[in-house]
Amino acid sequence: DQQVKQNSPSLSVQEGRISILNCDYTNSMFDYFLWYKKYPAEGPTFLISISSIKDKNEDGRFTVFLNKSAKHLSLHIVPSQPGDSAVYFCAAIIRGGKLIFGQGTELSVKP
Amino acid sequence: DGGITQSPKYLFRKEGQNVTLSCEQNLNHDAMYWYRQDPGQGLRLIYYSQIVNDFQKGDIAEGYSVSREKKESFPLTVTSAQKNPTAFYLCASSIRSSRLLGGNTEAFFGQGTRLTVV
């Protein structure tokens, strides 16, 4: 049972345009959501997080939106840069419990 | 500098041998996690621990064992019972999630250990 799902395995975007990465979850008990960026053979690097009591969090070029009624969150990267090319994972935490990841979306930003 | 350290980065073992992967953090985090990543797949949770001397099975715990005798350390043993142990293993730590509501949080990852069983 996949509680955190990233249904798009890959995304290709032109440099300067917006990248939108999507994530769906099934468990309404999740109280925190996080986005990570990962390069091959390295550990994931934290990007941005959002509490379940908020619907938006912004940090520079990265904005995360949370729609609790739809159990959906998205990461917007504006403007996209070639250095953003990596695999992006969304993750969710249940208070006092697991940190669960989605399958990842490979973003390719073309010059 | 605070951080989370996994060692070694590369590990080779013969089939049938147990092997232990190290994970140490000096971030004073309560929670620690072990994940496995296989080519083309996401991060699958093996074990996690929210507090010293306590740990819980994740989604793919079979063939693995852990201990949490100290807050800073969460070693993972890949036993001979694990049918397909060759993978990239990642350790992470975070503030205990019960303290998170309303504040910022993140989980820090180590650089990973690539285990190859031959």
Q: What is the pLDDT of residues B48-80, one digit of tens each?
A: 998 899 999 998 999 999 999 999 999 999 998
Query: CA–CA separation, A93 vs B98, rounded Å?
Result: 10
- Say which range, A18-22, A71-75, A87-91, B92-96, has the weakest mean pLDDT: B92-96
Query: Across residues A21-31, what is the average pLDDT?
Result: 92
**pLDDT tens by residue, A58-90:** 999 999 999 999 999 999 999 999 999 999 999
User: Is residue B32 less than 8 Å (CB to CB) from chain A?
Assistant: no
Question: Which of residues A98 and B81 earns the better pLDDT score?
Answer: B81
User: Is residue B100 less than 8 Å (CB to CB) from chain A?
Assistant: yes
User: Is residue A32 less than 8 Å (CB to CB) from chain B?
Assistant: yes
Distance from CA of B16 to the nearest CA of A (A): 25
Is B50 in Cβ contact with A96 (below 8 Å)?
A: yes
Query: CA–CA separation, B42 vs B26, rounded Å?
Result: 26
Query: Across residues B9-31, what is the average pLDDT?
Result: 92
CA distances to A41, A76, A96 from A6, rounded to whole Å, are: 21, 14, 24
Tokens read off for A84: 């953003």
- The answer to whether B19 touches B25, Cβ cutoff 8 Å, is no
User: Is residue B61 less than 8 Å (CB to CB) from chain A?
Assistant: no
| Of residues B92, B89, B90, the one with CA closest to residue B115 | B89
Is A44 in Cβ contact with B90 (below 8 Å)?
A: yes
Residue of A56, A59, A99 best to disrupt the B interface, most CBs of B under 10 A = A99
**Tokens 């147990």 belong to residue:** B18
Query: Across residues A102-111, what is the average pLDDT?
Result: 95
Is B112 in Cβ contact with A94 (below 8 Å)?
A: no
User: What are the contacts of B104-108 at 24+ separation with CB within 8 A?
Assistant: B104/A49, B105/A32, B105/A34, B105/A49, B105/A93, B106/A34, B106/A46, B106/A49, B107/A34, B107/A46, B107/A91, B107/A99, B107/B31, B107/B33, B108/A46, B108/B3, B108/B4, B108/B25, B108/B27, B108/B29
Residue of B11, B23, B43 best to disrupt the A interface, most CBs of A under 10 A = B43
Nearest CA in chain B to A88: B42
